[in-house]
Structure 1
Amino acid sequence: MTNILDRRLHAFRPDLADQALQGQVEADRFTKGEPAQVTVPVAALHPVPDLARGIDTELLIGETVRVFERADGWAWVQADEDDYVGYLPETHIGPVRAPTHRIIVPRSFLYPEPELRKPHVAVLSMGSQLQIVGEAETRGNHYHVLADGTAVMSSHCRPVSEDLDDYVAVATRFIETPYLWGGRSGIGIDCSGLTQLALMMAGKKFPRDTDMQARVGTEITREDLRRGDLVFWKGHVGIMEDAETLLHANGHTMTVARENFEAAVKRIGWLYEQPTGYRRIL
C-alpha cells in the first residue's frame, strides 16, 4: 500500500508517519504532528535534510505547516496550503500567529520602522502573510505595523479574507521575475509555482507540481484555448493570457515571459515534444 502513496503529499517513512496514514502505511511510530508557522520571508523545502540538495518548493512567511519531527536542526513538515512534505531548517518556523493581511504585489520591503529611508530588513513576496497590529504615517506614506515594530507599505497589503479578482492578471505582475527551479515567490519562481501562486491569490487552492496540476479541471482541445486555460508539456505548464499568448516561467528566457503560443509550441517541441494536455480550471 505504501508504494501507491505520493511521498510529496503524504508524510511517511519507515520510522515515522502521519497519524492519518495509520492502516495505510507501515511505520515504527505515528504522530499527528504539531502546528507551526514559517517565520522567514521564503523557506526552501528540501526532499531530504541537506542544504546541498535541490529544493522541491518554497513556503512563504506566515504559511502554516504540521511538524512531524525536529532533529539535528531540521524539521520534517507538511504544508497546510498544498500538503507538500519536506524538510526545512528548524529555525525557519515558530509558533502560529493568526495573520491579518497578505502582500499583494510581487515584492515588497519590510522596514525596521515606518520609514522608507531606513535600510530594509527583508524582502517579502506576494502571498506573504503578516499579523498587522497598527498603522502609521510618515511624510504622507501609509504603513502597516507589525508587533515587533517593523512596517510594510499599506498599499502593498490586503486583508487575508480578500482575494484578487483575476488570476491571469496576477500572473502578469510577475513578468521578468527570474526563473528559479522550485521557486514559488516574487524573488524567483518556476512554471508550476507561478500557476499555483497566482491561483492562490485569487482564492483557489491548487496543487504544486505540473503532474498534479494536469489532473485538475476539465480537459479541452487546443482549438478551444482561451484566457485562463493551462497548457501542459511533460514537466512544464503555461497560462494562456489570451487565445494567442502564453505566459510562463521558463528556462529559455530564465524569466516569467509572454510568448506567442504557436511560436512557443514550436520552440519547446525540440526538447519537450508537443503539449501533453490542455485544461480549463475555472
Structure 2
Amino acid sequence: MTLDRRLHAYREDLADKALQGQVTAARFVVGDPASIAVPVVGLRPKPDAAGGIDTELLHGEDVVVFDRAAGWAWVQAKSDGYVGYLPESALTDVMEPLTHHVIVPRTFLYPGPDLRFPVSAVFSMGSRIAVIGEAETRGTRYFLLSDGRAVVAAHCLPLGTYATDDYVAIAARFLETPYLWGGRSGFGIDCSGLVQLALQMTGRSAPRDSDMQASGLGDAIERSDLRRGDLVFWKGHAGIMSDDRTLLHANGHTMTVALEDFEAAVKRIGWLYEMPTGYRRPVA
C-alpha cells in the first residue's frame, strides 16, 4: 500500500522515524516541535514560492519540523497531519503556553491596548495566542500578548471553549469571503477549508481535503435525507447544506463563499464535476 504523501512525511532522502518499516528512505528522523509565528502561511507541496499551496496554517498552530534547508522547512501540521513546505521564517521554536483562540473571522492586533493605535497585524479565526494579561481603554477590554501587542478580548475565547456548536452558523460567518485555492482563513478560503475550519471552531476535527472528508467524515446518508449541516461532495468539491434546499460553499463560480439553491448548484456544477459523489452527516 502506498501511503498518502499529504499525510505522511517521507521522501527518498528523509522520512519521519514513525514510518520506519513502512517506507524506504535514506534516513529517518524524529522531528522537532515548532509553531506558526505569522498570521497565516501557505503549506506547499514543493519548496517553491512560485508554486501553488495545498493548505494554510494559522498563527499558533503546532507543527513537527523534519528538515530545514535553503530557507524552507519541511513540516507536518499537528492538527490534521498535513505535510508540506513553508518558509522557515514563518516558524518559531519558542513554544509559548497558548491560552486562547480567535473566534471571529478576522481581528486586528494593535501595538498596545487602544483601537486608535495603528494596526500591527491581522489574525484569522482559528488563530491561537498566548494571553499574559488584560487591559481596558475607553470601555473596550483587550488581551495582552507577551510581545506587548493587544487584541480585542471579545474576539477570543479560552482554548477548548467555543462560541457555538452550530458549524453551519460558523461557516455562514464567512459569506462573501474570497475564494482561495488552498485557503483556510478569514482572508481567503476554499471549499474543504470552509468545512474543516467551521467544524474545528465547534470542537470537531475534520480532514483537510474534500476527498479525505468524503471518504470518512461522519456518516454516509442518502440525498433524500439532506438537512441543515449535512455535507455534499463532488469529485473535487464540497459544500454544507444551510437548510434542506440551500448549499453554502466556497466556490470558483462566484469566487466567494456563497449561498446557492442546491438543485441549481447540482446542475451548474455537473458539467465540470459531474453529479455529487456522496452525502455525509458529521458526528454531533
TM-score surpassing 0.5?
A: yes
Unaligned 5+ segments in structure 2 are none
| Whole-angstrom distance in 1 between the partners of 2:272 and 2:71 | 40
Determine the structure 1 residue equivalent to 2:171: 171
Which secondary structure does the structure 2 equivalent of 1:65 belong to? strand
* 1:17-76 Cα shifts (integer Å, max 9, x gaps): 000000001111101101000000001101010000000000000000000011111100
Question: Once the 2 structures are TM-superposed, how far is the Cα of residue 98 of structure 1 from its aligned partner?
Answer: 2.0
**Identical columns (%):** 68
Question: Once the 2 structures are TM-superposed, how far is the Cα of residue 142 of structure 1 from its aligned partner?
Answer: 0.8
Does the 8 Å contact 1:65/1:79 carry over to 2? yes
Which of these residues, 47, 57, 75, is aligned with residue 77 of structure 1? 75
Alignment of 1:251-266 (within 5 A): 251-266=252-267
Determine the structure 2 residue equivalent to 1:191: 191
| Whole-angstrom distance in 2 between the partners of 1:246 and 1:281 | 16
Does the 8 Å contact 1:70/1:90 carry over to 2? yes
Determine the structure 1 residue equivalent to 2:115: 116
Amino acid at match of 1:67: V
* 1:144-170 Cα shifts (integer Å, max 9, x gaps): 110111000011000012023211111
* 1:55-106 Cα shifts (integer Å, max 9, x gaps): 0000000000000011111100000000000000101010221210000000
Alignment of 1:1-282 (within 5 A): 1=1, 4-95=2-93, 96-163=95-162, 164-215=164-215, 216-282=217-283
| Whole-angstrom distance in 2 between the partners of 1:132 and 1:152 | 9
Which secondary structure does the structure 2 equivalent of 1:192 belong to? helix
| Whole-angstrom distance in 2 between the partners of 1:47 and 1:270 | 29
Which secondary structure does the structure 2 equivalent of 1:44 belong to? strand
Amino acid at match of 2:225: D
Unaligned 5+ segments in structure 1 are none
Amino acid at match of 1:33: G
| Whole-angstrom distance in 1 between the partners of 2:15 and 2:219 | 34
Q: RMSD of the alignment, in Å? A: 0.8
| Whole-angstrom distance in 2 between the partners of 1:26 and 1:135 | 51
Which secondary structure does the structure 2 equivalent of 1:214 belong to? helix
Amino acid at match of 2:3: L
Does the 8 Å contact 2:44/2:84 carry over to 1? yes
Does the 8 Å contact 2:160/2:203 carry over to 1? no
Amino acid at match of 1:187: F
Q: Number of aligned residue pairs: give it.
A: 280
Question: Once the 2 structures are TM-superposed, how far is the Cα of residue 108 of structure 1 from its aligned partner?
Answer: 0.5
| Whole-angstrom distance in 2 between the partners of 1:189 and 1:156 | 20
Does the 8 Å contact 1:219/1:279 carry over to 2? yes
Does the 8 Å contact 1:214/1:279 carry over to 2? yes
